[in-house]
């Protein structure tokens, strides 16, 4: 049987996740990296990381999109917005995308929504199987425990270079808890506590960010009852798990109808 090969564009090849995606793609049977896009100052570094003569490494996203069937994006809100706009507007048809950038601006969210009208797009704050299972577990726990008035909190720990806080994954877990309780997350979220904040409000969901060292990512959903507590924890020890999930999503998304998908769709768990 002949496998159909697909050309992959990697955004941010000089970054931690971009490099991990290139590594994961090198072992994939149907995807091969044909283009990479980075900031002008970093494009040379990205070319060095790729080390292949036939890969186009450029800061020109529109030009690079002409050399791919799908792109994977772990960069910044600004770059993600630019890429989504260019992918939607491509002359030869919109480009399917896998987007893992977190801390997105409203403008980036709108650009992704516009791309999803004309191409299939997988968006996930976390591409690991374990975290996606945790989202389901947290939602179920929240639904079951809500009737007994249990408090829920989320903590996350990341390396000292991470820019956005709380992490996109912590927010996804908090939203899963709110969904399990049929709450509007915006009404119950509590991202900071400082000073005389008074007793904890019933139903609120606290989210706390810790930063230090080289921690790849740790997330815990806490459920506090009277005299008992449940902690659901996921610890990532290597970013390979995110890169492999993103590569799996890239192979899955090509040929799907336009729309926004998440990792549960890719894993067949939705």
Phi first, then psi: give them for residue 99, nearest 5 degrees.
-120, 120
- How near is the Cβ of 195 to ligand NAD at its closest, in Å? 29
The residue among 17 and 247 lying less far from ligand NAD, judged by its C-beta, is: 17
How does strand 151-158 pair with strand 217-225? antiparallel
| Site of tokens 């999109």 | 65
- Is 152 one of the binding residues for ligand NAD (CB under 6 A)? no
Write the binding mask 159 to 178 for ligand NAD: x where contact by CB under 6 A, - elsewhere. --------------------
Report the alpha-carbon distance of residue 244 to residue 20 in Å, rounded: 8
Beta bridge partners of 151: 224
Among 31, 97, 102, 154, binds ligand NAD (CB under 6 A): 102
Cα–Cα nearest to 207, from 192, 224, 196, 197: 192
Check 28, 67, 162, 191 and give the catalytic one. Answer: 162
Residues 229-248 that bind ligand NAD (CB under 6 A): 239, 242
Nearest to ligand NAD by Cβ — which residue? 15
Among 89, 90, 103, 151, binds ligand NAD (CB under 6 A): 103
Report the alpha-carbon distance of residue 47 to residue 259 in Å, rounded: 32
Check 158, 189, 219, 234 and give the catalytic one. Answer: 158
Q: What token pair was written down for 133? A: 């299972």
Query: Does 158 qualify as catalytic in the annotation?
Result: yes
Residues 4-33 that bind ligand NAD (CB under 6 A): 12, 14-18
- Is 183 one of the binding residues for ligand NAD (CB under 6 A)? no
What does the buried/exposed string (b/e) look like for 3-38 if buried means 16 or more CB atoms within 10 Å of the residue's CB? eeebebbbbbbbbbbbbbbbebbeebeebebbbbbb
Q: What token pair was written down for 241? A: 């798990």
Report the alpha-carbon distance of residue 133 to residue 130 in Å, rounded: 5
Please count the residues of this chain forming the interface with ligand NAD, following the rule CB under 6 A.
25
- How near is the Cβ of 165 to ligand NAD at its closest, in Å? 10
The residue among 37 and 50 lying less far from ligand NAD, judged by its C-beta, is: 37
- Is 155 one of the binding residues for ligand NAD (CB under 6 A)? no
Round to the nearest angstrom and report the end-to-end CA distance of the chain. Answer: 30
The residue among 42 and 173 lying less far from ligand NAD, judged by its C-beta, is: 42
Query: Does 161 qualify as catalytic in the annotation?
Result: no
- How near is the Cβ of 238 to ligand NAD at its closest, in Å? 11
How does strand 70-73 pair with strand 56-58? unpaired
Hey, which residues are catalytic here? 158, 162
Enumerate binding residues for ligand NAD (CB under 6 A): 12, 14-18, 37-39, 42, 74-76, 78-79, 100-103, 124-127, 239, 242
């Amino acid at each position: 049987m002949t496998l159909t090969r697909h050309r992959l564009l990697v955004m941010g090849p000089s970054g931690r996740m971009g490099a991990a995606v290139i590594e994961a793609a090198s072992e994939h049977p149907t995807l091969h990296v044909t283009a990479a896009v980075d900031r002008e100052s970093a494009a040379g570094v990205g070319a060095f990381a790729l080390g292949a003569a036939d890969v186009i490494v450029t800061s020109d996203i529109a030009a690079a999109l002409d050399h791919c069937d799908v792109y994977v994006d772990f960069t910044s809100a600004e770059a993600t917005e630019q890429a989504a706009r260019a992918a939607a507007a491509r002359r030869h048809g919109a480009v399917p995308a896998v987007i893992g950038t977190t801390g997105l601006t409203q403008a980036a969210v709108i650009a992704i929504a516009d791309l999803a009208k004309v191409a299939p797009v997988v968006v996930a704050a976390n591409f690991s199987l374990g975290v996606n299972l945790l989202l389901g577990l947290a939602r179920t726990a929240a639904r079951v425990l809500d009737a007994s008035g249990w408090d829920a909190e989320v903590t996350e720990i990341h390396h000292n270079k991470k820019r956005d806080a709380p992490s996109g994954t912590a927010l996804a877990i908090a939203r899963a808890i709110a969904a399990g309780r049929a709450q509007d997350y915006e009404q119950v979220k509590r991202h900071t506590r400082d000073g005389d904040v008074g007793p904890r409000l019933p139903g609120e969901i606290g989210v706390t960010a810790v930063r230090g060292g080289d921690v790849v990512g740790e997330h815990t959903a806490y459920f506090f009852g009277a005299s008992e507590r449940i902690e659901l924890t996921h610890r990532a020890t290597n970013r390979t798990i995110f890169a492999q999930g993103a590569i799996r999503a890239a192979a899955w998304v090509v040929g799907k109808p336009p729309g926004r998908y998440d990792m549960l769709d890719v894993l067949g768990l939705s």
